[in-house]
A = this chain, B = another copy of it.
Amino acid sequence: MAAEHILDRVLAGQESIQSWQDELYVHFHRNPELSFVEHETHDRIAEELRAIGVDEIEEHIGGTGLVGVLRNGDGPTILMRADIDALPVQELTGLDYASTAVGTSFDGETSPVMHACGHDVHISALLGAVRLLADHRDAWSGTFVALFQPAEERAGGAMAMVNDDLVGRIPRPDVAFAQHVGPKPAGQVHACIGSAYSRADSIKVTVFGRGGHGSAPHTTVDPAVLAAMIVLRLQTIVSRETRPGEFAVVTVGRLQVGTKVNIISDRAVLDVNVRSYDDDVHARLLAAIERIVRAECEASGSPTEPTFEYYDRFPVTVNDVEVTERVRSAFASAFGDHYVEDLPTTGSEDFSEIPKAFEIPYCYWNVGGVDRETYRDAKKRGVLASEIAGNHSPFFAPVMHPTLQAATKTIVVVALDWLGTEA
């Protein structure tokens, strides 16, 4: 029996698990939890892994992380990772199962919460794949490690698991995988060779003015004006200081000045997100930000030095050439036209900390989540960017089908390519 036949046989099981998987997805979507406080999510995943009957469950690795292991005789060990946290975004999708959750982050901020990055797809797909593999132990041989990682959005989840002795607590994999859902046609998959996700740093910049009454600006140093100058100056790092065509992003994601309209505040806080593929470029971006902020403070006559707090620091994600070529070949065969070649995404990921801890190669791929018809139509009308909501948007809403099936299938395809018993 050829590999294709095994794959077909295992995938045939998708139909029977669909209502269970849909329900799981809706559950996670309705009950999103912020980074590092995914307590109920952790427990529900553990419960499902137990119901599926995995051979081992290792809970509470790095707080809310956990791992399920299917041991199935000799053969390689592969690891698939799903991230499980949600974002402080108020859902505006209008879906039946839209989130109305409000949560408090580990550092004390309360906000609406939404799976605006699709991690609910990742969880549901990985649980689905585990169930299919558990149901078809005859089709493969080796060890399959399903890793559910917390706090990807805050960059710390992977390291939290590593620092909590991940390497000592789970079987050592030969290779690691992860995937992400995004604003491409549902069912479509692609995997980049080399740089797949950018390096990223976040900086909380606090600049100081001198507070006072809104009617007496001359007695103050206005932090709103200072912050505005900084935001515009920061634009020139990419537009003027970076080689045209070099990947570099400087985003002010959050900007907070003042509490009351007629009080001029004594400070402004800018949260700046910086991305690149190249280390030298990265160093120059960070230096330029500090130079600009300091000089703009001087231009305002700021009475106090600005402060810079670095956080959420993501490594660059570089897919292994050999592993990725094997993944691409498996996808090309299994997905046909739906396998495409595409640009690396602009985002960042901390997944690579996990294979780095094991010193093993990895591949990170992408799956689409937009209704195909809708996508085709928006593309034809040239409104992809404006009408198709991307990750982190309050409108981000993967269509359930065939997104879940495809995201489950990718895992099964790769697992059987590495572990399949027949060729």
Q: Which residues of A approach B to under 8 Å, CB–CB?
A: 87-89, 111, 116, 153, 183, 198, 200, 202, 204, 210-220, 222, 224-225, 227-229, 231-266, 268, 271-273, 275, 277, 288, 291-292, 294-296, 298-299, 301, 303, 312, 343, 345-348, 385-386, 389-395
The residues of B that contact A264 with a CB separation of less than 8 Å are 251, 253, 392
| Interface-centre pick from A88, A204, A245, A347 (highest chain B CB count, 10 A) | A245
Known A-B contacts A262-B312, A303-B386; A249 and B88 likewise in contact (beta carbons under 8 Å): no
Asked if B263 and A87 make an inter-chain contact with CB atoms under 8 angstroms apart, the answer reads yes
Asked if A215 and B239 make an inter-chain contact with CB atoms under 8 angstroms apart, the answer reads no
Selected from B87, B198, B213, B241, the residue in CB contact (under 8 A) with A218 is B241
Asked if A263 and B392 make an inter-chain contact with CB atoms under 8 angstroms apart, the answer reads yes
Asked if B262 and A213 make an inter-chain contact with CB atoms under 8 angstroms apart, the answer reads no
Q: Shortest CB–CB separation between residue A229 and chain B, in angstroms? A: 7
Instruction: Report whether over half of chain A's contact residues are helix, strand or loop; otherwise say mixed.
Output: mixed
The residues of B that contact A263 with a CB separation of less than 8 Å are 87, 89, 116, 253, 392
User: Cα distance A307–B230 when bound, in Å?
Assistant: 24
The residues of B that contact A213 with a CB separation of less than 8 Å are 346-347, 390-393
Asked if A211 and B394 make an inter-chain contact with CB atoms under 8 angstroms apart, the answer reads yes
Asked if B236 and A215 make an inter-chain contact with CB atoms under 8 angstroms apart, the answer reads no
Selected from B273, B291, B345, B393, the residue in CB contact (under 8 A) with A262 is B273
Asked if A253 and B261 make an inter-chain contact with CB atoms under 8 angstroms apart, the answer reads yes
Q: Shortest CB–CB separation between residue A349 and chain B, in angstroms? A: 11
Beyond contacts A89-B259, A227-B255: 18 other A-B pairs, Cβ-Cβ < 8 A, are: A198-B215, A215-B275, A217-B244, A218-B242, A220-B390, A225-B231, A228-B232, A229-B232, A236-B239, A251-B262, A253-B261, A254-B257, A254-B258, A255-B257, A261-B272, A262-B392, A295-B295, A296-B299
Asked if B233 and A231 make an inter-chain contact with CB atoms under 8 angstroms apart, the answer reads no
Asked if B229 and A233 make an inter-chain contact with CB atoms under 8 angstroms apart, the answer reads yes
The residues of B that contact A252 with a CB separation of less than 8 Å are 222, 224-225, 257-258
Selected from B87, B245, B291, the residue in CB contact (under 8 A) with A260 is B87
Q: What 6 pairs across the A-B complex have the smallest Cβ distances? A: A295-B299, A245-B247, A228-B231, A215-B346, A261-B271, A228-B228
User: Cα distance A263–B389 when bound, in Å?
Assistant: 13
Asked if A239 and B217 make an inter-chain contact with CB atoms under 8 angstroms apart, the answer reads yes
Asked if B257 and A210 make an inter-chain contact with CB atoms under 8 angstroms apart, the answer reads no
The residues of B that contact A242 with a CB separation of less than 8 Å are 218
Asked if A236 and B225 make an inter-chain contact with CB atoms under 8 angstroms apart, the answer reads yes
Known A-B contacts A233-B299, A236-B222; A210 and B386 likewise in contact (beta carbons under 8 Å): yes
Q: Shortest CB–CB separation between residue A82 and chain B, in angstroms? A: 19
Of all chain B residues, which has the CB nearest A314? Answer: B262
Of all chain B residues, which has the CB nearest A203? Answer: B261
User: Cα distance A183–B153 when bound, in Å?
Assistant: 42
Q: Shortest CB–CB separation between residue A343 and chain B, in angstroms? A: 8
User: Cα distance A390–B262 when bound, in Å?
Assistant: 13
Q: Shortest CB–CB separation between residue A103 and chain B, in angstroms? A: 12
Asked if A217 and B249 make an inter-chain contact with CB atoms under 8 angstroms apart, the answer reads yes
Selected from B215, B219, B248, the residue in CB contact (under 8 A) with A348 is B215
Known A-B contacts A217-B249, A235-B232, A240-B218; A88 and B254 likewise in contact (beta carbons under 8 Å): no
Identify 26 residue pairs between A and B in the complex whose beta-carbon atoms are under 8 Å apart, listed by A's number: A89-B260, A211-B393, A211-B395, A212-B390, A213-B347, A213-B393, A214-B392, A215-B249, A215-B251, A215-B273, A218-B246, A218-B385, A222-B240, A225-B232, A229-B232, A244-B346, A245-B245, A245-B247, A245-B343, A245-B346, A253-B260, A255-B255, A255-B258, A261-B312, A262-B273, A294-B298
Q: Shortest CB–CB separation between residue A247 and chain B, in angstroms? A: 4
Of all chain B residues, which has the CB nearest A284? Answer: B218
Q: Shortest CB–CB separation between residue A397 and chain B, in angstroms? A: 13
Known A-B contacts A255-B227, A392-B262; A250 and B239 likewise in contact (beta carbons under 8 Å): yes
| Interface-centre pick from A89, A211, A277, A347 (highest chain B CB count, 10 A) | A211
Of all chain B residues, which has the CB nearest A201? Answer: B261
